[in-house]
Chains A and B, each alone.
Chain A
């Protein structure tokens, strides 16, 4: 092993040019790859101050993702004359006049799926829906200022926060106005969740969640709590949003609402993941129902399993050529039957609740229920028999027993 000389030793020794070049050409005595690290750091800062500088602050009124830039930090969709707006000019471009929509925009067409250009039969495309949103936003912006300073609407690539992942993009969220409209429709007009879902093109669960969150927000306002409004404004400015087309406004006449997301999502049943070869007579009318049976005996066809089977029913009646009156009668009958069923279930639940004996306490209530300890089953461990039984140790200290709660009651 060569002796370790400190690097300063040779440098401090002589001053002639020959000695300097010799020192430089000699091997490195330091064991750390200091130079490499420095090089990497320099590259990092070069990138941050070069192409990365565009991502430091948001573009007012637009998204700003890595996928929208090329390698040199140029915004791909911008026209050559485009200048990044200064933070001071933010007011002029921000979404103050969001509900103003000038041109007639085509609403997302749901019956395109069956025509089959790229999409298989009966399926919708998410891309269509989102392009409608973006086109609409573009119309709104185009009306407001000169064309050169306006950014064209984002393509799917521009909305990629992770450029390598082609299967993920930032999808629009509901705008404030749309949330308020959904809340008012459900709370004030008393519309059912599924109807509101169809009207606004927002999935059932989302309608429920919007109402729940909005209700809480309004309670906060009544209590005088401080909302996180600056945060909310900034975030909603950074991500794409689905605008609300207010039908009561005169400029929105004859427009359909923008569909936020596909509402009839069919979950892929695990039984259908395998491929089946089922020989069938050619004369046999082999329908979806039969196909479902082939996979799993209990698998229902798609028109029952989707979240809005009533839409299929209504469409079927339309196809049968029933008159408007007739269809309305059938729809009201169905609605009444559904309501009666719901009421019955609720009544049953209430009766069960009433059967419990409840003793209120300060934080929690004691609830008593009649239990037969003898119903422990064959292995004497069934949940129907409760309580600790002699000879059976608790399992909660065993290895692998997770004590994190699995659910929280709402």
Chain B
């Protein structure tokens, strides 16, 4: 990777960069179409190349980009299924011999801006995709996230910013880093910094002390690995669940009551792990957990080992209890929601709290159609390669189509 230019945001040359800075915005506002009247073709191409390359993959060596350049550019045409069903295409070829006496108004399709698609291979890069998904405030920052191991592709850590995403790849970035990258920067006074340092020191000291005091921790008992729990166990577990349900329903939403919610969550997990047949993937969301518990508890395992406890099934739920269980699950969901939304002051965060988007972000905020982003978990899927369609191109580039064409021609020269 070439070093960042010494005058990255020079005011002398107009250079739009892939970032959300005020300099980029200023240059965007002052960008002019290329001068095609008084300059030679070579000069025009050269300028177009250097301007576009300062934006597209400025952190990539020219040679590397040249090897990636492709002269065939992807495009699509949106089709209308009703038309396709009712016509077989022969009506377009029909001449006067077929009885076509009058000429219809000639149809002029919108131009497909192929020439804005020159840099589409760079949009495949992982770092660029992270920047386009609004997870980082510049392409270089996105690159740093990848190199620092904050990015996963399909659930596996990916350390190469030059990884070319394939259609269907999912990438996720650490949410705290995303909040840091897109949030307003922190302004910290010297006093605040000193207080934070003191607190950190005190807490680490306390932690060390506690660690020294505590005897060697015993490993947690392994779960009984029986294929199916006995009804007695089921009953016990249901009782424990219902107990914690009551606790949870009594508690409000506050810092102190979080412990109870966490315990409840653990109880549920334990109960679910008791059924060996239920694989953890299938009951991973709250809804499925609730549905699973309800189905298992209300229709107890009569087929497993019922002989000891005839009569009323011990683990069936009354309507009242079902309602309580549901309410407890809702509380669990609300708690998670509350935790996430509650945007409070927190000196330990590396960004300004309460969080707000950084200045000038809105002028650069757009998500191209080839990405599907879920902002809640800071993950996105690269759906397909960017394409051109009539009137629209999906590669975000700040330059007019003339510049795009000149740049394309520059790289075409050596093919």
Task: Give A residues with C-beta under 8 Å from B.
Answer: 36-37, 40-41, 43-44, 47-48, 51-52, 55-59, 63-66, 110-111, 113-114, 116, 118-127, 161-171, 173-174, 179, 203, 205-206, 208-210, 212-222, 224-232, 234-236, 238-239, 261-262, 264-268, 270, 273, 280, 282-283, 285-289, 291, 301-303, 306, 308, 311-316, 318-319, 404-410
Closest to B67 in A: A400
CB interface residues, B 39-88, toward A, < 8 Å: 72, 74-88
Check A123–B77 contact: CB distance below 8 A.
Answer: yes
Check A121–B107 contact: CB distance below 8 A.
Answer: yes
Check B175–A228 contact: CB distance below 8 A.
Answer: yes
Measured between beta carbons, the chain A residues less than 8 angstroms from B162 are 404
Check A66–B360 contact: CB distance below 8 A.
Answer: no
Given contacts A58-B357, A121-B92, contact A164 B336 (CB under 8 A): no
Check A217–B391 contact: CB distance below 8 A.
Answer: no
Q: A167-B391, A209-B372 are in contact. List 4 more A-B contacts (CB 8 A).
A: A119-B109, A169-B366, A206-B383, A209-B170
Check B83–A122 contact: CB distance below 8 A.
Answer: yes
Map CB proximity to A onto B350-380 as digits: 1 under 8 Å, 0 otherwise.
0000111101111111111100111111111
Given contacts A40-B11, A210-B372, contact A217 B383 (CB under 8 A): no
Check B354–A230 contact: CB distance below 8 A.
Answer: yes
Interface size class of B (residues with CB under 8 A): 35 or more
B31 at the interface (CB under 8 A from A): yes
How many A-B residue pairs have C-beta atoms within 8 angstroms? Tell me.
Answer: 361
B250 at the interface (CB under 8 A from A): no
CB interface residues, B 113-145, toward A, < 8 Å: 113, 116, 134
Alpha-carbon separation in the docked complex, A111 to B336 (Å): 45
Check A55–B363 contact: CB distance below 8 A.
Answer: yes
Check B78–A264 contact: CB distance below 8 A.
Answer: yes
Alpha-carbon separation in the docked complex, A36 to B80 (Å): 57
Check B170–A410 contact: CB distance below 8 A.
Answer: yes
B296 at the interface (CB under 8 A from A): no
Given contacts A210-B372, A410-B154, contact A121 B83 (CB under 8 A): yes
Measured between beta carbons, the chain B residues less than 8 angstroms from A206 are 372, 383
Check B365–A52 contact: CB distance below 8 A.
Answer: no
Task: Give B residues with C-beta under 8 Å from A.
Answer: 11-12, 22-23, 25-26, 28-33, 72, 74-90, 92-93, 95, 97-98, 104-105, 107-110, 113, 116, 134, 153-156, 158, 160, 162-164, 166-170, 175, 178-179, 182-183, 261-262, 265, 284-287, 289, 332-333, 335-337, 339-341, 343, 354-357, 359-369, 372-381, 383-384, 387, 389-401
Check B400–A164 contact: CB distance below 8 A.
Answer: yes
Closest to A239 in B: B365
- The 5 A-B pairs of least Cβ separation, nearest first, read A315-B85, A170-B366, A288-B89, A232-B375, A262-B78
B257 to chain A, nearest CB (A): 13
Given contacts A40-B12, A169-B392, A315-B85, contact A228 B109 (CB under 8 A): no
Measured between beta carbons, the chain A residues less than 8 angstroms from B354 are 230
Closest to A229 in B: B340
Closest to A283 in B: B97
Query: Which residue from B80, B90, B113 sits with its C-beta under 8 Å from A287?
Result: B90
Check A232–B134 contact: CB distance below 8 A.
Answer: no
Given contacts A124-B79, A212-B170, A221-B336, contact A118 B107 (CB under 8 A): yes
Given contacts A238-B357, A280-B93, A410-B168, contact A165 B399 (CB under 8 A): yes
Given contacts A123-B77, A164-B398, A165-B401, contact A227 B89 (CB under 8 A): no
Check A126–B340 contact: CB distance below 8 A.
Answer: no
Query: Which residue from A167, A205, A234 sits with its C-beta under 8 Å from B167?
Result: A205
Alpha-carbon separation in the docked complex, A75 to B23 (Å): 21
Check A227–B400 contact: CB distance below 8 A.
Answer: no
Measured between beta carbons, the chain A residues less than 8 angstroms from B383 are 203, 205-206, 209
Alpha-carbon separation in the docked complex, A303 to B83 (Å): 10
Check A224–B396 contact: CB distance below 8 A.
Answer: no
Alpha-carbon separation in the docked complex, A229 to B334 (Å): 13
Closest to A113 in B: B80
Query: Which residue from B22, B81, B153, B339 sits with its C-beta under 8 Å from A48?
Result: B22
Measured between beta carbons, the chain A residues less than 8 angstroms from B179 are 228, 230-231
Measured between beta carbons, the chain A residues less than 8 angstroms from B332 are 224
A226 to chain B, nearest CB (A): 5
A329 to chain B, nearest CB (A): 19
Check B398–A165 contact: CB distance below 8 A.
Answer: yes
Alpha-carbon separation in the docked complex, A348 to B41 (Å): 59
Alpha-carbon separation in the docked complex, A47 to B92 (Å): 54
Check A238–B372 contact: CB distance below 8 A.
Answer: no
Given contacts A168-B397, A238-B365, contact A124 B78 (CB under 8 A): yes
Measured between beta carbons, the chain B residues less than 8 angstroms from A262 are 78, 389
